[in-house]
Chains A and B, each alone.
Chain A
Amino acid sequence: MRVLVVEDDRMIAKGLHTALKQDGYAVDGVSDGASAAAALRSSRFDLVLLDLGLPERDGLEVLRELRSRGDATPVIIVTARDDVQSRIQGLDAGADDYIVKPFDLDEVAARMRSVLRRAAGRGDPYIRHRGITLDPVSHAVERDGVPVVLSAHEFAVLEALMQRPGAVLSRAQLEDRLYGWSEGIESNAVEVYVHGLRRKLGNDAIRTLRGVGYFVPKD
């Protein structure tokens, strides 16, 4: 899961970055409205945490532009503007949720999961498919009721593939979800994680479409 953090306060941005990485997200950060708009135009994110009071361009403006392009990327506003009018404005501008500073990290994490779940069209907080159950909160995975221990990166690859069974994700798309801009990517990392997953969950759990990418069989 790749998250864009738009926050002009360096301390808060840094803290969010650390927390989200601990939760297994790939995190990118920008500190002003213009850079946020540019990043959203050029890259694909699973979720955006958006501050409103930004230099250069206001967060609401960035959000409206994103929505006017028809881009449905989930956006959670994280701001110090706590008045009802601002909340209404933010949600009506296309935000999926609205969090007021100072926030609680666990609550931010829960709201992010809730928004991601809805974006994936799931009501169930667990992702279940063909005997595999995946808990996005605890990162616990079970195969036919038996717990399986996965590394953070293995979990991220499995989660990405299980979001939409049958859909093929390329190596580049998977790398996008695993790493932020600043992180170095090893060339065969994705193959290593897929190999690990097949070893732990069974060879049939993830299939390869040669020259295209990986997918979880639909049934």
Chain B
Amino acid sequence: MISIRTRLLMALLAVVIATSLLAGLLTYRRVFAETSTLFDYQLRQMALSLRSQIPMAPRLELPPDQADADFVIQIWDPYGTRVYFSRPGLPLINATTLGYADVRVAGEAWRTYGLQTLEGVIQIAQPLRVREAFARGAALRAVIPLLLLLPILGAAIVGVVGSGLSPLRRLATEVQRRDVHSLMPVATERLPQEVAPLVDALNRLLLRLHAAFQAQRAFVADAAHELRSPLTAVRLELQLLDRAPDENARREARTNLGAAVERAIHLVEQLLTLARSDPREEAGAWSRISLEQAAADGIADANSLAQARRIDLGLEAEPAAVQGDPEALRILVRNLVDNAVRYTPEGGQVRVSTRDQASGATLEVVDTGPGIPPPDRERAFDRFYRRSNAAEGGSGLGLAIVKAIADRHAAEIRLDDATGGGLRVTVTFPRPDLRGPH
């Protein structure tokens, strides 16, 4: 885990140290250059002031302040004999360069100035370390206060960062208090501007979670409620079987019990299908599949009910490709056809067709049943919505399942009147090439 505080502290300290060192270096170089100019001038002045004193060179006395600065004076007569050496014993240059020069003698760097006069040559020399010492001193004087500030700066950074991060700690406590039962949005007041987008995003997530939990709870409650009806029928028929007075009554109760159990099974299966068609649960890889094949499979599934109700069930297939989950599309078709068959009076017709249109592949299911009046069409997709004239055994989940699968495929469903009465359901899928792989 990266600590913002440590990172800030390290970065700021590094910057301060680097700045101090740079300041020291610059100071050193500037002071060195300045002292060099001054000392060079002094070297020359000394040489010039000694010009008239060459004849009395052996008795020359140096002013004491100049002795401090480690000046070394040598004077040679015109014949090249050294007539004066201010620091006998020092191994110094025997010959000299006129003007300024940098020389190195016995491992030490010197700055020299040589002056030619009629009476001889004067050379003033000074070790470079004198100048370096000046520059070093100045550089240290510049750097030390900065370095002394470091601990204070560090403490200040720790404090400021700590108080700057305290809203984050408050936020963490707030968020920790959230659970399934309380998904209240986190308060955004008194939060720094930088944290606000994070909290906003978090609040949006909390809202979505809350909605999802609500939907989940509603679904479970609805499912439990809806399971009561088939279970009531099961219990009722079981008790009728127990108390049946004769063989006829017993046989009838047994048949009805079977139907009631089938109905409970159907409802549970539909509930499972609906739960599995949840958009968040992505099943397998999607492929380009033929809608007419899915339609044929779905119709085959619903055929036995159509046979039992003597309904003329038919498919008009035109090739049409969609991008999707073949199993889900088969379930979609099965539920649409199943619904149509259940609501169509015996002996009626249910027509299924697939078409490839400019707007995309379409699936159409048309029946000769009573249709759904326009005001009820929106509600028809609600879970457990049942029309009052439903045939036995409907779960009330068929259209909800169709809607969930269609939503997953970004398909559009329209309910309207079929020509000559009955219901027409049209499902339009987006063109496969307009959708990327899901």
Contacts and interface: CB of A to CB of B under 8 A. Distances in A.
A102 B240 CA distance: 14
A102 B392 contact: no
Contacts of A14: 256
B388 A101 contact: no
A10 B392 contact: yes
Closest 4 CB pairs of A and B: A55-B388, A15-B236, A102-B232, A11-B233
Interface stretch (A103-111, A186-194, A197-205): A103-111
Given A80-B229, A102-B232, A11 B392 contact: yes
Interface residues of B, number: 26
B245 interface: yes
Given A8-B388, A11-B392, A31-B388, A22 B243 contact: yes
B228 A11 contact: no
Interface string B384-408: 0011100010000000000000000
Interface string B242-259: 010100010011001001
B239 interface: yes
A18 B253 CA distance: 9
B72 interface: no
A104 B388 contact: no
Contact of B240 (A8, A18, A31): A18
A9 B239 contact: no
Interface string B310-337: 0000000000000000000000000000
Interface string A1-32: 00000001111101110110010000000011
Interface of B: 225, 228-237, 239-240, 243, 245, 249, 252-253, 256, 259-260, 263, 386-388, 392
Contacts of A124: none
A56 interface: yes
A20 B398 CA distance: 33
Given A9-B232, A22-B243, A105-B240, 18 more contacts: A11-B233, A11-B392, A12-B229, A14-B256, A15-B237, A19-B236, A19-B239, A19-B240, A22-B240, A22-B245, A32-B388, A55-B388, A80-B228, A80-B229, A81-B225, A101-B228, A101-B229, A106-B239
Given A9-B229, A11-B263, A14-B256, A102 B235 contact: yes
Contacts of B253: 18
B392 to A, nearest CB: 5
